[in-house]
Chains A and B, each alone.
Chain A
Amino acid sequence: MIPASFDYVRPTTVDEAVQALVDGGEDAKIMAGGQSFIPVLRLRMGDPSLVIDLGGIPELRGVREDGDQIVVGAMTTHHEVTRDDLLARHVALIAEATKTVADFQVRHRGTLGGALAHADPAGDLAAPTLALDAELVIVGQNGERRVPAADFFEDYFTTAIGPGEILTAIRFPKYTGWGARYEKFNRVAQAWSIVAVAATVKVDSGTITDARIGLTNMAGTPVRARAVESALVGQSMSEETVRAAAQAAAEGTSPTSDADAGSDYREHLARVLTGRAVLAAAG
């Protein structure tokens, strides 16, 4: 129940945090909202010598507009994401997915940056981030780089964030006027996704003019359902077209089999949930 001892610092700027991370070496770890990190420490599955708390860095928090992008600070909480007007207007899919994460208490503390850096394949925010073609802003001693979401998620719990680097922001293109839906299939309240589908679509006088679809927990990383996207674009909107296009949802995925579901059942879920998500997003 009680974590092992560690030293603790709470820097007030990103530069200080990067310096602490570099000085601390391999056993220094970043803490964001702590909602995955503290449980890991309590179970003694992690044993850092130094914990660097990003909670005191104002520049990492908040949502702002920057030209044709919406920029979300890595330390913006799930709670804040679900209530933000800019996101509701321009990037509804991330807000919709965030509403399904955990419960109120966890959403009050957990952060978008923390969830993406954690990269749990069952986590709900990676698939929408991928589907939305977001860019992840990573800062290290050599300055800032921007990584497209397609290159950010590398494997189970593994991202492009290197040693001595911190994720500082997520930059989303604007999807103003697009419909969005996150369809999550799980066993009980506050549980992780067995499979989930993130869909955002643009419908113009009854025709689907654009579509982005991301799948949660259908591989070690989130997967883009590109075959469904291309089957949808240019079609006139009807339940039949959508259900037919959704049949391609499991193409290119490699879902695991575990106590919750076998891989064939996960493929079935991906098809059904894709149909539901696209219909709801278009409706």
Chain B
Amino acid sequence: MARIRTTVDGLVYEDDVEPRMLLVQYLRERLGKTGTVIGCDTSNCGACTVHLDGLSVKSCSVLAVQANGSEVLTVEGLERDGQLHPVQQAFHDNHALQCGYCTPGMIMQSIDLLGDNPDPSEQEVREGIEGNLCRCTGYQNIVRAVQDAAQKMKPGAHASTSSSAAAPVAGGGA
């Protein structure tokens, strides 16, 4: 067992984990954050995408122990005061999902992309989400949603992973 301390969606958690535990398992099974999903066994689908210290990662391809001392942001940490994040709202408004399984990862990767490139072209959006597979939509409305969100987020503001507010320590054990 290894002791890890992480900040997830603004709350600090301390837990003992087996080194082999994947970050996605830790989020889902220990913290109950089932908003982050597992869609494949090959690191290809991106459904499990979260931000680790401000960069998007596939949480099935990171060990929970590697997140020790880090900040994790999941799709569950995006809403502010009951308001959806602009990218979440844009996915809703543009009908950018059908079954919805790819959506948590698509949203997290899109936010990463917009943080880097606040006004992406259609081609840049497609390249930005190349690590995320959708079996339903054909991507058209996803691309539209990301570009719509980009317009609404001008100027500048994108979700930050900083947890400036004093974050209470909570045990993550289920």
Contacts and interface: CB of A to CB of B under 8 A. Distances in A.
Contacts of B2: 8
A55 interface: yes
A109 B63 CA distance: 12
A142 interface: no
Interface string B28-70: 0000000000100111101001001001111011110110000
Given A2-B22, A104-B113, A108-B55, A35 B61 contact: yes
A38 interface: yes
Interface string B59-84: 01111011000000000000000000
Interface in A30-62: 34-35, 38-39, 41-43, 51, 53, 55
A189 interface: yes
B131 A41 contact: no
B22 A105 contact: no
A156 interface: no
B93 interface: no
A104 B56 contact: yes
Which range holds the interface residue count of chain B?
20 to 34
Nearest to A9: B19
Given A4-B20, A5-B18, A38-B62, A105 B25 contact: no
Contacts of B113: 104
A190 interface: yes
B130 interface: yes
A18 B61 CA distance: 24
B131 A190 contact: yes
B9 interface: no
User: Which of A7, A41, A53, A106 is the most central at the interface, judged by chain B CB atoms within 10 Å of its CB?
Assistant: A106
Contacts of A35: 43, 61
A34 B66 contact: yes
Interface of B: 2, 18-20, 22, 25, 38, 41-44, 46, 49, 52, 55-58, 60-63, 65-66, 109, 112-113, 126-128, 130-132
